[in-house]
Each structure stands twice: as structure tokens, then as C-alpha cells.
Amino acid sequence: EIKMGVRYQTSFGDKKTISFKVPVLINKFIEKVEMDQDRFDYLWNDISTNRPDSFEKLDLILKNPASRSSTDHMEVLKKLAKLFAVCMNLKVLPPINKSNFTKI
């Protein structure tokens, strides 16, 4: 089980910390995989452009940490997507518009 913690400060000055499970297995990043370039390109493009519903959507597994402030949850999700992409080197597609979300 892998957990990630995020610390942030609300617009009211409250410091908050949230932690959540990251649905990633570390060994998948360090095991060598034999794959020809054409297959890799196909899979990369498929993951990057098709966005199948089977992908984990951040808004479904993580409550908006700024729910009591005026911060829009889209901005929170964009910053978390950038965090995953930059700090963890994960391929993350930031949210584009609110109509893609499912309320749970």
C-alpha cells in the first residue's frame, strides 16, 4: 500500500494535510519490459488520447480539499495533476471541464 500526503493552506489561512492511497505499484516502474517501439507508441497514444473510463479519475477518489473555501475544485485538481506529473513522473491528464465529472 502506497500513501501520499499533500499539505496545503486554505484561503482562510488554515493549514491542512490529507493523505490518500496511490493506486500505483512501484515494481511496475522498475521492472524491465520488452516491447518494440511500434507497440509502445500505440499504447502511449491510446493512453494519452482515448482516456478510457477504466482510468482512475482523481475527482472520484479524492474529496476537494478546498471545499470550505472559495477555491474552485478544478484548480485543486489541476494542481494535484501537476504534482503527480512533476514530482512522481506519472502521466496525468489534468481536468478540462466540469462536465466530465461524476458526482459521488
On the CB side of 27, how many CA atoms lie within 13 Å of its CA?
1
Q: Is the Cβ–Cβ distance between 77 and 61 less than 8 Å? A: no
Model pLDDT for residues 12-45, shown as the tens digit of each residue: 888 888 887 766 555 555 567 788 989 888 887 7
Cα–chain center distance at 63: 12
Which pLDDT does position 26 carry in this prediction?
Answer: 53
Four-residue CA torsion sign, 72, 77, 78, 83: positive
Q: Flag whether the pTM goes above 0.85.
A: no
Model pLDDT for residues 37-79, shown as the tens digit of each residue: 898 888 877 776 675 565 555 555 556 666 666 777 777 778 8
Q: How far apart are CA 63 and CA 5, in angstroms?
A: 13
Closest C-alpha among 80, 88, 99, 61 to residue 7: 80
Cα-only R_g, the chain? 16
Which pLDDT does position 101 carry in this prediction?
Answer: 65
Domain segments of the chain as ranges: 30-100
CA distance between the termini of the chain: 24
Grade residue 10 by pLDDT with cuts at 50, 70 and 90. Answer: confident
Which pLDDT does position 63 carry in this prediction?
Answer: 62
